[in-house]
Structure 1
């Protein structure tokens, strides 16, 4: 592209993303993403409506982290994946598809075996270590930023602060 031609992505104010593999409910895991070499997201607490957990699993090493939105460690994530991380993996499979999640996290499973439970078993069999929880603040901040967009009045006019926001459709 050295001749000055712009790609579709550079000319457009939106970026296309792959639609969800299957519909998912947002109540338990309202935010899930494959980013920064991790599967990461926000998982609602099962016991306290005012509490959420920020959970992540690193690609390749499967090092994991789970803490509350105010940086208190998850009581269930002591040496093994807690229920929040298991829910995060399950929702990631619904959002992105098992094959894509497996490929991103570098989990070795055959195509016909790929599902949330199989991925979890494959990762936990390596005995992953506790990961660095320093990214939790960034993940939670992105989640809150996404929630703020829900407060906007629906409009078809361009919103400069959302020029990066993905549209639905297949990746070009």
Structure 2
């Protein structure tokens, strides 16, 4: 028998493992077989990077939102990917991130792997650079999430969500 949330048209929201600041890494997700997200530039407030690490083979990519390559991601993780990994551990917990990426990382003081342990375990495999073409969908999803911040809090259905089957039945 399925639970109530499985029968509803809304997704369950999982609370962050620990609070995190959104200024450096405003968007992080475990999706499409990758840890991926948007990371703010340390040198230019108008620039952001789309960074990712693939599950399994750990292929990594980092480029600006207009698809220019990150200069620091040569032969290993750049600071953007390290920041993404750190925020993912805060958001989802180290055990969940390690499990999603399919990496065997040592547990730390918190009883689960930290970002440094996950990065170290990945670095032992000498991960390859990945193709940067997947940056556009990640950045687009981030912008779509930002658009929802412009809406006033309400309990009414959103017009762009009417394609959900539950909304059609109620209409």
Whether these two folds match at TM > 0.5 is yes
Scaled by the length of structure 1, the TM-score of the pair is: 0.87
Partner SS, residue 122 of structure 2: helix
Instruction: Give the SS at the match of 2:30.
Output: strand
* Unaligned runs of at least 5 residues, structure 2: 164-171
Give 2:148's aligned residue.
Answer: 149
**What's 1:117 paired with?**
116
Whole-angstrom CA distance in 2 between matches of 1:162 and 1:27: 28
**Count of aligned pairs between the two proteins:** 160
**1:13–1:131 CA distance, 2 compared to 1 (3 A):** same
Structure 1 pair 8–104 and aligned structure 2 pair: CA distance change class (3 A):
same
**1:88 equivalent in alignment to 2:84:** yes
* Structure ranking higher on relative contact order (CA contacts 8 Å, 6+ apart): 1
Question: Greater helix percent: which structure?
Answer: 2
* Aligned equivalents of 1:91, 1:9: Cα separation in 2: 27
Task: After TM superposition, list the pairs within 5 Å mapping 1:130-145 onto structure 2.
Answer: 130-145=129-144
Contact residue 13 and residue 163 of structure 1 kept, 8 A = no
Give how far 1:34 is off: 0.2
Q: Which runs of 5+ in 1 are unaligned?
A: 165-172
The CA deviation at 1:113 is 5.5
Equivalent position SS for 2:100: helix
Return structure 1 stretches of 4+ with deviation > 6 angstroms: none
Q: 1:160 Cα deviation (Å)?
A: 4.2
Measure, in 2, the Cα distance between the counterparts of 1:128 and 1:67.
17
Partner residue, 1:168: none
Query: Which string of whole-angstrom CA distances, capped at 9 and with x for unpartnered residues, describes residues 110-139 of structure 1?
Result: 444511110011111211110121110000
Report the Cα distance in structure 2 between the residues aligned to 1:162 and 1:22, rounded to whole angstroms: 30
Q: CA deviation at 1:33?
A: 0.2
Asked if 1:19 corresponds to 2:18, the answer is no
